A = this chain, B = another copy of it.
Amino acid sequence: MVLMRRELGDVLRERRLAQGLSLRGLSALAAVSPGYLSEIERGTKEASSELLASVCGALDVPLSEVLASLSERVAVMESLTAPVVLPVSGMPRVSASAA
């Protein structure tokens, strides 16, 4: 099962690092605690909509852009975790014979 919070955490961390910001730096800009932000980035806590808006504002990136990145990332994870269909019906029958 692909969980949104894990992928969202990765997307947010990538955006932060791309801007050369430390966790403490971003948490100060977004006015959220570094501990909370760290849990969001590690995907261990759900981000509230207010926190997400605040972090997007601090990173100066539209929420829609973060969600588009998230959608792409989740699509990759879905393709990796999709069940593999084996060609069972087309498999040749094996018949055992003593002859």
User: Could you list which residues of chain A lie within 8 angstroms of chain B, going by C-beta atoms?
Assistant: 1-6, 46, 48-50, 52-53, 62-65, 67-68, 70-72, 74-75, 78
Identical chains bound together, number: 2
**Within the complex, what minimum Cβ distance (angstroms) separates A40 from chain B?**
12
5 closest Cβ pairs, A-B complex: A67-B71, A64-B75, A3-B49, A64-B74, A4-B49
B64 near A71 with CB under 8 A, answer yes
Measured CA separation A2–B61 after assembly (Å): 13
Chain B residues contacting A78 (CB-CB under 8 Å) are 62-64
Among B4, B48, B50, B67, contact of A74 (Cβ-Cβ < 8 Å): B67
Measured CA separation A65–B53 after assembly (Å): 21
Among B2, B6, B49, B68, contact of A68 (Cβ-Cβ < 8 Å): B68
B74 near A63 with CB under 8 A, answer yes
Among B3, B50, B62, contact of A3 (Cβ-Cβ < 8 Å): B50
